[in-house]
Homo-oligomer: A and B are copies of this chain.
Amino acid sequence: MKIIQTVASVALLSTIVLADPLADAAKQNGLQPIPESKAELMKYINKAEDPITDAKVELGKMLYFDPRLSRSNLISCNTCHNLALGGADGVPAAIGHKWTMNPSHLNSPTVYNSVLSEVQFWDGRSPHLEDQAQGPMQAGPEMAAPKDLVVKRVTSIPEYVELFKRAYGEDVEITFERIASVIGVFERTLVTPSRFDDFLNGHDNALTDAEKEGLQLFLDKGCAACHNGMALGGTMQPFQVAAQYSFVNLGGFKGDENGMVKTPTLRNVTETAPYFHNGAFWKLTDAIKEMGSTQLGISISDDEAESIATFLGSLEGRKPQIVYPVLPASTDKTPVPTFD
């Protein structure tokens, strides 16, 4: 027994010795890799209340892509959180039912890796994805579908009823909350490990020298004060620490009751312009400089911003392959869409 412990200690020691010191520095600054092992990852994305199964993921995916969950039949979860476009929509503020812009001019956050966030929504009012998914379906400026309309649409389609039974058992009650929950199960699987994770997981050559320089600068400037953890974000943080944002008048969002705002994940950030809660900045280097002045109270030069952006490119993750679903047909019982 003692011998084995000793061997383990030596192995651990050798890992520490061989790893790039920058990887250690990143971890000491609170950055955390997506685990390489699927079993290890499951500890972060699985939930006892509604465990991930293949049947649920497939059903959740179908509902995620189904625009019949909206009043108009035109808007799905994927409309604003488009899995083809980094999990977001590429517009400054979400546009939904009747071409209505989000009243607070809020930008749609990426759904990729959102399971790794501690809270959901920009003001952090939702604790997890199963709860979050209930919001946009009902919101007037988004999918504008009352709970009972969503339930009637789904339960009017026998194939959906059958898939719920397969996923949750014969006695399943197909409530609005159950529908949102299975969408959340699908969303929990949308994790995208990147070369950055490979680097933190001990593959020293996974990042280029330029990316490593950018990471060093990211740490030196203090970006990891908010952008940390496995999501490189996802926690509530103070808002406008050093100065007012230059775009603060756009939409009038003020964060939660304490003026805190959810730090967005930096994963896949090169794919999710425009930036910030109100999508005011299109250029990543401009966004980096703005964060320096308003959150950190420092000036970040053009060259430094370029270098940090180079590092952020390494957070572009490997997306799960999604087979586009063929959805079951509506029936004569399915409520028809309305557009007003």
Contacts and interface: CB of A to CB of B under 8 A. Distances in A.
Interface string A319-340: 1011111110110100011010
Contacts of A86: 329
Interface stretch (A11-19, A61-69, A216-224, A253-261): A61-69
A67 B82 contact: yes
Identical copies of this chain, number: 2
A273 B328 CA distance: 12
A324 B323 contact: yes
A79 B82 CA distance: 12
A277 to B, nearest CB: 18
Given A84-B65, A86-B329, A329-B271, A73 B91 contact: yes
Interface residues of A, number: 40
A47 interface: no
A283 B98 CA distance: 26
Given A67-B90, A322-B323, A332 B283 contact: yes
Interface of A: 65-68, 72-74, 79, 82-86, 89-91, 95, 98-99, 101, 270-271, 273-274, 282-283, 319, 321-327, 329-330, 332, 336-337, 339
The 5 tightest CB contacts between A and B, nearest first, are A99-B99, A322-B324, A271-B329, A324-B324, A73-B90
